[in-house]
Amino acid sequence: MKTFAALALLLAASLASAQQPDRTLTLLQRLADAPGPPGAEEAVRAIMVPEMKPFITEPLRYDGTGSVIAQQGTKGPRIMIDAHMDELGGMVRRVTPNGFLTMQMLGGWLDQALVDQRWIIIGSKGPVHAVTGIRDIHIVPAEERTRVFSRDSLYLDVGAKNAQEVFAMGVEAGDPVVPDSPFTVMNGTQNYLGKGWDDRIGCAVLLEAMRRTSAMPHPNQLFYVATTQEEVGLRGAKAASQLVKPDIGIAIEGGITGDTAGAHPEESQVKLGAGPGMFLYDSSTIPNRKLVAFTRAAARSASLPLQADLVQGYGDDSAEMQASSGGTPTINLVVPVRYTHSHNGIVNRQDFDRTVDLVVAMLMKLDAAAVADLRDFTPKP
């Protein structure tokens, strides 16, 4: 009888454990679903700030663009860990007399990714659902059926008959627009579908690394910075770097995979599910070679896989950190993402977890001597 009771208690405890919410999964969903195009990051900042506050040792600071600067420690080298809050989006440009809207795109969109998509306009009265329409196959001439239609030919349809109905919805020129693509766990796998993984996945890495280092002794000043307006010119990172004045910069981004149908080997070598990535080159930054070696050594010591890639046509916040404080050694670490800069991207949970492990391992190995060596370019005899 006692054995049966013990088994019943064990089963009950097991079921209770299985029903516990996954804190990380919940955080990823909240971040992915939050609207935050460049210059309108309020909803993302509203998630980041309360998540950061329990783990800071100094009051939170903000730069003039709305970036959030969270600090741990007051002595030692100044390490800036950066992820950007904004996502690709748009802005209402004009409301036409017949109730359609034109849109100014924000960030690096492909024209073919814009047609027949759902969007959300952040209006003064709340979210307004919209769609970029598409011409009906029955009336499109045969010679136009394979054409990519330019963004300037597209209109947002909010269901209004005229401009007055649009204004009554609380929509006007300048209102932010974001993709409408809810977070989804893909068919019981460890792959997560959602919008804005560039760079909400980096924001989640930043928060989890911050939570872990708050309970670990380290000889550094760690500045966890959630920046704004990366997608339109790294503007928040420039302002935040001027305040932080980092000795070392670590950008955390959404990477680019080369494991999809039709991919070319020279475009990307990174695979989903194969671990964090490290950029050896992109259009905005060439990383410090010593910091590249340091990152590889940290990954080896922690038994973590590390993918390396060179990507053209890609820029990130490490460029602004690198140009600050008289020149700062920087590295761009990435969580691989399939289908970046579109409505529907895919990330892998194990890649996320391992990226957090790598960032923490690096921060624990950095100290004054290591930072001095990374910044030393004196020719050796």
Q: Which residues are annotated as a binding site for Zn(2+)?
A: 84, 198, 231, 253, 341
Q: Structure tokens of 351?
A: 């890649």
96: number of Cβ within 10 Å: 14
Query: Which residues make up each annotated binding site?
Result: 84, 198, 231, 253, 341
230 a catalytic residue: yes
Residues whose CB falls within 8 Å of the CB of residue 88, separated by 6 or more in sequence, listed in order: 37, 106, 107, 108, 109, 179, 196, 198, 231, 341
Q: How many residues does the chain have?
A: 381
Which has the closest alpha carbon to 373: 298, 299, 289, 279?
Answer: 289
Q: Spell out where 197-324 has E strands.
A: 221-227, 248-254, 277-281, 307-310
Q: Look at strands 118-123 and 184-185 and give their pairing.
A: unpaired
Question: Which residue of the set 51, 87, 230, 320 is catalytic?
Answer: 230
**Separation of first and last alpha carbons in the chain:** 79
| Dist CA 157 CA 124 (whole Å) | 18
Q: What is the DSSP string of 76-134?
A: S-EEEEEEE---SEEEEEEE-TTSEEEEEEES---GGGTTT-EEEEEETTEEEEEEE--
Q: Are 166 and 102 in contact (CB under 8 A)?
A: no
Q: Are 202 and 210 in contact (CB under 8 A)?
A: no
Distance between alpha carbon 91 and the CA centroid of its chain, in Å? 20
307 Rama sector, left if φ>0, alpha if ψ -120 to 50, beta otherwise: beta
Residues whose CB falls within 8 Å of the CB of residue 177, separated by 6 or more in sequence, listed in order: 37, 89, 90, 91, 92, 103, 119, 120, 121, 122, 130, 156
Q: Spell out where the chain has E strands.
A: 61-62, 68-72, 78-84, 89-95, 100-106, 118-123, 126-132, 156-157, 176-179, 184-185, 191-194, 221-227, 248-254, 277-281, 307-310, 330-335, 345-348
Tell me which residues are annotated as active site: 230
